[in-house]
Amino acid sequence: MKKMGKESFYAKYIKRLIDIVCSGVFLLVFWWLYLIIAFLVRVKLGSPVLFKQLRPGLNEETFNMVKFRTMTDERDADGNLLPDEVRLTRFGKWLRSTSLDELPEIALILCGDLTLIGPRPLLTEYLPLYNEFQHRRHEVKPGLTGYAQAYGRNSLTWEEKFEKDVYYVDHVSFWLDLKILIKTVRVVLKREGISSETSATMEVFNGTKEEGEAHE
């Protein structure tokens, strides 16, 4: 079920102005960092340097998500990609733990596909699996970081993440964004919540069983 989001004055105008200024300044100041990381990715992981994937954004409209590559393309005898924990190299883990793999997303903020603070864009194949409550995470523009990333990251369950995403949708404000940004910096510096308890990244979302639904 696709829901159309209605942005507040802050989310539509002030937040967008902050996004343009912050992303523009960052790209001008740290362009050299992009070159260094791109070079290291090319040497250690090969090409392509960038990982691109369609993700759902505001109102579930898709856009191309771009990150620095962190995994190899190793496959089994049948041509299937090996599990994340096998393809994720030490260098890739370092990129993820420092969030440097997400630097290309700054350009997406400048373009308007992303915002600085908002629910993280997930896989398009998850869209049919969301319940009505979970679909509401798309009522605002997705972000570089969000409430769930600042308060748990991949250590949270999917349901906990969605609860925080929808909380953000209902309470978006300048002060909440500032609080999330400050907390995110602390989490990144401490490298907290990088992996879930059972996966090198995050388990696949298979849908949330509704109350009363039979368990297999």
Give domain limits for the chain. Answer: 9-190
Widest CA span in the chain: 55
So what's the pLDDT on residue 2? 45
Number of CB atoms found within 10 A of residue 138's CB: 26
Cite the beta strand spans of 16-173 per DSSP E.
50-56, 62-68, 115-117, 143-145
So what's the pLDDT on residue 97? 84
CA-CA distance, 34 to 49, in Å (whole number)? 11
CA-CA distance, 71 to 87, in Å (whole number)? 5
What tens-digit pLDDT sequence spans the chain (216 residues)? Answer: 444 445 678 877 899 999 999 999 999 999 999 999 999 999 998 889 999 999 999 999 999 999 999 988 777 777 677 777 778 888 988 998 888 999 999 999 999 999 999 999 999 999 999 999 999 999 999 999 999 999 887 788 899 999 999 999 999 999 999 999 999 988 888 766 555 454 545 688 888 876 544 443
The strand pairing partners of 81, in sequence order, are 75
The strand pairing partners of 54, in sequence order, are 64
Token readout for 194 is 């990088």
So what's the pLDDT on residue 204? 87
How buried is 117 (Cβ within 10 angstroms: 0-12 exposed, 13-18 middle, 19+ buried)?
buried
Query: Which helix (H) or strand (E) segment is 146 a member of?
Result: none
At residue 89, the 3 state secondary structure works out as coil
Q: Are 58 and 141 in contact (CB under 8 A)?
A: yes
Q: What is the pTM of this model?
A: 0.83
**Ranges of H-type helices in 72-214:** 84-87, 90-98, 105-111, 132-135, 147-150, 158-171, 174-190
CA-CA distance, 1 to 131, in Å (whole number)? 8
CA-CA distance, 207 to 122, in Å (whole number)? 13
Q: In terms of Cα–Cα distance, which of 60, 85, 80, 57 is closest to 70?
A: 85
